[in-house]
Amino acid sequence: MARRVLVPLCLCWALGPAAASAPPNLLLLLMDDMGWGDLGAFGEPSKETPNLDQMASEGMLFLDFYTANPLCSPSRAALLTGRLPVRNGFYTTNAHARNAYTPQDIVGGIADSELLLPELLKKAGYINKIIGKWHLGHRPQFHPLKHGFDEWFGSPNCHFGPFDNRALPNIPVYRDWEMIGRYYEDFKIDRKTGEANLTQIYLQEALDFISKQQGSQQPFFLYWAIDATHAPVYASKQFLGTSQRGLYGDAVREIDDSIGKILKHLQKLGISEKTFVFFTSDNGAALISAPKQGGSNGRFLCGKQTTFEGGMREPAIAWWPGHIPAGGVSHQLGSVMDLFTTSLSLAGLQPPSDRQIDGIDLLPAILQGKLIDRPIFYYRGNEMMAVRVGLYKAHYWTWSNSWEEYSKGIDFCPGQNVSGVTTHTLEEHTTLPLLFHLGMDPGEKYPLSFPSDEYQRAMERISVVVQQHKATMVPGEPQLNVCDKAVMNWSPPGCEKLGKCLKPPKSDPKKCFWPH
Q: Which residues are catalytic, by number?
A: 72, 135
In the chain, the amino acid numbered 111 is A
Instruction: Determine which helix (DSSP H) or strand (DSSP E) holds 56, and give its type and residue range.
Output: helix 50-58
Beta-bridge mates of residue 129: 151, 222
Among residues 229, 195, 228, 258, the alpha carbon closest in space to that of 34 is found at 229
From residue 387, give the alpha-carbon distance in Å to each of 152, 286, 402, 441, 479.
36, 22, 22, 16, 24
Among residues 445, 435, 442, the alpha carbon closest in space to that of 466 is found at 435
Determine if residue 489 is labeled as part of a ligand binding site: no
From residue 86, give the alpha-carbon distance in Å to each of 75, 274, 451.
11, 35, 33
Among residues 240, 232, 170, the alpha carbon closest in space to that of 488 is found at 170
Beta-bridge mates of residue 181: 173
Task: Outline where DSSP puts E strands in 320-426.
Answer: 328-330, 334-335, 376-380, 383-389, 392-395, 397-398
Among residues 358, 305, 370, the alpha carbon closest in space to that of 331 is found at 370
For residues 357 and 444, what is the distance between their CA atoms, to the nearest angstrom?
A: 29
In the chain, the amino acid numbered 516 is H
264 three-state secondary structure: helix
For residues 502 and 160, what is the distance between their CA atoms, to the nearest angstrom?
A: 18
* DSSP labels, 409-429: T--SSTT---TTTS-SS-EE-
Asked whether the beta carbons of 204 and 132 are under 8 A apart, the reply is no
Determine if residue 197 is labeled as part of a ligand binding site: no
* DSSP labels, 284-325: ---GGGTTTS----TTSS--TTSSSHHHHEEEEEEE-TTTSP
Asked whether the beta carbons of 434 and 423 are under 8 A apart, the reply is no
Determine if residue 72 is labeled as part of a ligand binding site: yes
Determine if residue 32 is labeled as part of a ligand binding site: yes
Asked whether the beta carbons of 397 and 426 are under 8 A apart, the reply is yes
Asked whether the beta carbons of 1 and 113 are under 8 A apart, the reply is yes
Helices H / strands E in the chain, number of each: 13, 19
Determine if residue 283 is labeled as part of a ligand binding site: yes
**What is the SS3 assignment for 429-452?**
CCCCCEEEECCCCCCCCCCCCCCC
- Cβ atoms within 10 A of the Cβ of 242, count? 14
For residues 278 and 56, what is the distance between their CA atoms, to the nearest angstrom?
A: 10
Vertex 480: Cα angle to 171 and 472 (nearest 5): 140
Verify cis geometry, omega within 30 degrees of 0, for the bond prior to 232.
yes
Residue ranges of the binding site: 32-33, 72, 282-283
Which residues line the annotated binding site for Ca(2+)?
A: 32-33, 72, 282-283
